[in-house]
Each structure stands twice: as C-alpha cells, then as structure tokens.
Structure 1
C-alpha cells in the first residue's frame, strides 16, 4: 500500500523510510548528501534529466545517514513509483519504466538498472519476489537483489495476472491471434505450463513475418 509520502512498501519489511518528491529547499541546499543517478545507474557530478522530470526521493536508512536521491527520467515504459523490495536494505525507484535498484546504506556505489520499459510492478509476499514486467519479459527482485531475468515470454502485451508459490500466471501474445495464458516458475523465470515461445535470440520482424520465433503448444 502506498503511504502518504508516496513510498509503497508492498508488504515487504524495509530497513528505511522514504519520502517521494519532498519539498525543494528555498535556498537549494538539502543539508544532507545528494546522489544524482543517471540513466545507466552511474552517479553524475552535475545532475541532468534530459528526457523529463526526475524523481526525487529523501531516504532515511535505519542504520546510516539520511540522503537525497535524484533519479533521471527517460525510460520507455509507463510505470513510475518508489518501492520497497524483498531485500530490506534495497530501494527500487521506477521512473517512466526505468527501474533503479539502490542499496540505501551505500548510495555512493550508484544504482543497478534492474529493467527498462517496465509497465507493471507486482509484489508477492508468498514468493518473496518483486516482479518488474516488460511487454516481453520479467525481471524478479529477491532477497539478494536481481534473482532472475526470464527469457522472452511473449511477442507483446505480457501481463502478470496472479502470483503464488506454484507459479506466476501470465497472459501475452504468443502468435496465436488471441492472448495466451501460461505459467512461469517463480524460482527460475522459465515457462512450466502452457504454450511458450521458442527460437534464437530475438530478431526484429520483417515485412513478411514477425521475427524468427515460433509458438510451441503445451
């Protein structure tokens, strides 16, 4: 549930507090360390967010000093938000689909770009995973950071509809005309039930086809 400060704990136990878009100080001095994260996760000396308004987050870790994070915009997805993760010391900030993963006790190390083009964020306490869903694949965040990245699961329109310890239930375009339903293993990111895509690394579609993938039925 998203709190009044814009921080969504998603049922996880975070070892920090976070405030989204705090009031900018009138004199420009935050009076605490400021870390400016570029779109590759590296820190900038002079912050620039060329592709839109940045996301600014005030972070108060339980065991280290408070700091301000500035996260550059410019992802190609629709999701934005500030989330706790299954790792108590890791913060996930999604800005226009670009997902930054930061250790709140060591922001000077920069951020890991966990995924891009994210259009859905799904938390599961039962599996202790935070799923970052792109229109073709999924990245899962676990207790140690990125747990896995799935292979390509759909040609387009991938969505997670339900998560349990038994599987991640998804729908997506698998070249059948109508959306297909299938189940992904929460431990590996591989399809364990239903149809799946098969083929070499993704090639762009041509005028006469939709790439070199094909649909294998269950």
Structure 2
C-alpha cells in the first residue's frame, strides 16, 4: 500500500486520523466498507473520523484494501459535499457520509489510478484504466466514454477542459482527448 495522501481542498465538516492499525479495542461505532468483504483479510485503511456536526459521534471506518501496488492511491480526500469524505485504499474508492456512515458508495472503478479535486468545477475526478468518473456535491456527476484501451493520462486541466492521452490498441498509439468538465463529454478543440 502506498503512503497515505491527504487531499483536503474542498471545505469539509469532519476531521480524520489515519491509524497505523486497527485498534485493539474497537470504538462503539465501527463501519466496514464494503459491508461484506473478504478483501479485509488482505488489509485495510483504518480511519478515525470525527464529524463536526453537533451531536455527531466519532467512528472508525475500515476500508478494504484493493491492491498493494504503490502506483494506486491510498488516502483521504474531501469532496464537493462538505459532509462526505472520500477514502481510497489501494485503489478502492469509498464515498462516506460522515453524518450517517452507514450511507456510502463504493466506486466501480477498481482500481482508481488517480484522484483530482477540481474545486472550480465542484468535482472530484477519479481516473481509471479506460475512463474518468466525476463526483459532485449531489453525488455521481458524469462518466466519460472509453478514452483508452489501457491507461488514461491527464496532461492538463484548464478552466472547464481536461486534456489527456489514451492508448488505443488497434493503432498502438497514444491519442489525445479533451473532456468538458461540465458534463464529461468529449470536445473537439
């Protein structure tokens, strides 16, 4: 597992501490993500979450580890919704409502290869092998079409346009692309 990253660029109403291991005595509130998972045996990201909401109690989030490869991210990111936290554990990404931690979303990208907060657009972007997925203040914002057969590279983000390259098997070449960050649609410029 790679060293944890903190990407707290969006305003948020919680504080976290990444623990080196699961505590010997579990707190009263403990949530395992996903709920029924064998991957926990391979390891997990253990996060003590302290919501700032009045009356909210801290909880331990145990996020199953995806891969032990240093090229996949591990860490905590704030999201466009100040109550939500994004935990990425070895490329497995979880969006957790810190005021109601039983509500979560595990992204289908396995693994997530990069995480890009785009504050100006109110998006948290997740780059996979073939496409890009965007999370906004109200949840899933959009997903691009397939941009690559194996490997998306983000090269630039300027204004509302993300530029990158994707490898195409038939031509055996990397081809440039541009995505409109407002809707995830390919643009031709």
- Residues 22 and 46 in structure 2, CA contact (< 8 A), matched pair in contact too: no
Contact persistence 1:172–1:181 (CA under 8 A): yes
* Residues 170, 48 of structure 1: alpha-carbon distance in 2 compared, 3 angstrom cutoff: same
1:112-162: per-residue Cα shift (whole Å, max 9, x none)?
Answer: 112322111111122121110001001111111221111111112211122
Uncovered stretches (5+) of structure 2, i.e. residues with no partner: none
| Residue in structure 1 matched with residue 14 of structure 2 by the alignment | 16
The equivalent residue for 1:59 is: 49
Q: Aligned-pair distance for 1:67? A: 0.5
Q: Is 1:145 aligned with 2:139?
A: yes
Residue 58 of structure 1 deviates from its aligned partner by 0.5
TM-score by length of 1: 0.74
- The structure whose residues are more often strand, as a share, is 2
1:7 CA displacement? 6.1
C-alpha distance in 1, partners of 2:13/2:7?
Answer: 11
What is the RMSD computed on CA atoms of the aligned residues? 2.2
Distance 1:189 1:32 in 2: 41
How far did residue 48 of structure 1 move?
Answer: 5.0
Aligned runs of 1:1-218 on 2, under 5 Å?
8-21=6-19, 24-25=22-23, 28-38=24-34, 43-44=35-36, 48-50=38-40, 52-63=42-53, 64-74=56-66, 78-109=72-103, 111-114=104-107, 115-174=109-168, 175-193=170-188
- Identify the structure with bigger relative contact order (alpha carbons < 8 Å, sequence gap 6+): 2
Tell me the distance in 1 between the aligned counterparts of 2:118 and 2:178. Answer: 15
If the length of structure 2 is used for normalisation, what is the TM-score? 0.84
Once the 2 structures are TM-superposed, how far is the Cα of residue 50 of structure 1 from its aligned partner? 4.8
Q: Which runs of 5+ in 1 are unaligned?
A: 1-5, 195-218
Q: 1:30 to 1:155 in 2, by over 3 A?
A: same
User: Equivalent residue of 1:107, what SS?
Assistant: coil
How many residues are paired up? 180
